[in-house]
Amino acid sequence: MKSVLVTGSSGLIGSEVVGYFAARGWAVHGVDNNQRAVFLGPGGDTRWNQRRLTTELPAFTHHELDIRDRDGVLALVATLRPSAIVHAAAQPSHDRAAAIPFDDFDTNAAGTLNLLEAARRACPASPFVHMSTNKVYGDRPNAIARRELPTRWDYADPAFAHGIPEDLSIDQSMHSLFGASKVAADVMVQEYGRYFGMPTCCLRGGCLTGPGHSGVELHGFLSYLVKCNLEGREYRVFGYKGKQVRDNIHSLDVARFIHAFIEAPRAGEVYNLGGGKDNSCSILEAFELVAARSGKAQRYVYVDEPRAGDHVCYYSDLRKMQAHFPGWSVTQSLPETIRQIVGSWTLRSRT
């Protein structure tokens, strides 16, 4: 029986991957310690999702472990020797990292090294998928010429008509401490691929979203925006006139790509993984999309100060992913994703 070890298994991506592989007959081992609630407060608590997985999936085993615990990680991977590893545990917030630099770096950089080295010792042939981020590019995308449209920014340079490719420099720009700790992990994952020949890849995520997110102001913008809308709470827009653009990808399409890579792995690869231009929206456009679904106008306040190092316009160029894995494409539209997020928050508010 094939087995997969998923870190961050109670989070958005981890829980989707757990359900995806369990439904396909794999034994699934999850590592999570609800650190999201420690990093981001009670709104970030992911125990509800852990309980859901444990209750619904007989093939799932939860391991209460901190990925910073080097001996614990080495021992678990040595015992399980999984057929694949999906690493989705992280301190995920761009803004939060500056207040907790040691926790951020120890989790994102050293935690990733713990898993890589554990994999090299116990199961070096098993595909290792690392959830990286588009913040590894720092604020370099902001240097691309852009034009202002009525509700969004867009690239004016035709070289970026399809979005941001993987060869954009990750060097000499402002990343936030989060972006920097994720760069360290990203480069290390590539190195275990190139230096040791292990089947590793980095998925540099745009906005990953879906019904399994525990969105808070500091992380998970679409999930949090929907929550604010449903509860009639004010959403704070930080700078760029609310026209900043993000590309949104449903966690199911992330899990589908991870599966495709595990079935046909390469060594030390890097992919920009987002919804692409078709699934992109500005904050102002997101307000309209959510209001169209919920029937409630969005209350918001504008703060005339962008978040440090934030992207003005970012959408992923998906052509490398599609060239390497022609069977993969984005299947969940943005309105459908919003419909599911609305449904999930409505359900959670009743339990």
Ligand X SMILES: NC(=O)c1ccc[n+]([C@@H]2O[C@H](COP(=O)([O-])OP(=O)(O)OC[C@H]3O[C@@H](n4cnc5c(N)ncnc54)[C@H](O)[C@@H]3O)[C@@H](O)[C@H]2O)c1
Please report, as ranges, the residues that interact with ligand X according to CB under 6 A: 8, 10-14, 31-36, 46, 66-68, 88-90, 92, 107, 111, 131, 133, 205, 207-208, 213, 220
| Cα 180 to Cα 316: distance, rounded to the nearest angstrom | 20
| Cα 241 to Cα 62: distance, rounded to the nearest angstrom | 43
Measured from the CB of residue 254, what is the shortest distance to ligand X in angstroms? Answer: 8
By beta-carbon proximity to ligand X, the closer residue of 116 and 295 is 116
Nearest residue to ligand X by CB is: 11
By beta-carbon proximity to ligand X, the closer residue of 133 and 229 is 133
**Which of 166, 212, 233, 241 has its CA nearest to residue 347?**
212
What the block records as the tokens of 234 is 């004010």
By beta-carbon proximity to ligand X, the closer residue of 102 and 159 is 102
Measured from the CB of residue 112, what is the shortest distance to ligand X in angstroms? Answer: 9
By beta-carbon proximity to ligand X, the closer residue of 6 and 342 is 6
Rounded to 5 degrees, what angle do the CA atoms 193, 195, 201 make?
A: 10
Measured from the CB of residue 91, what is the shortest distance to ligand X in angstroms? Answer: 6
By beta-carbon proximity to ligand X, the closer residue of 132 and 298 is 132
**Which of 169, 98, 178, 176 has its CA nearest to residue 132?**
178
Measured from the CB of residue 156, what is the shortest distance to ligand X in angstroms? Answer: 25
Pairing of strands 153-155, 84-87: unpaired
By beta-carbon proximity to ligand X, the closer residue of 207 and 237 is 207
Would you give the DSSP letter of residue 272?
A: E
- Residue that has been written with the tokens 């160029």 in this structure: 317
Measured from the CB of residue 26, what is the shortest distance to ligand X in angstroms? Answer: 19
**Which of 246, 289, 242 has its CA nearest to residue 148?**
242
Measured from the CB of residue 333, what is the shortest distance to ligand X in angstroms? Answer: 17
Q: Are 164 and 134 in contact (CB under 8 A)?
A: yes
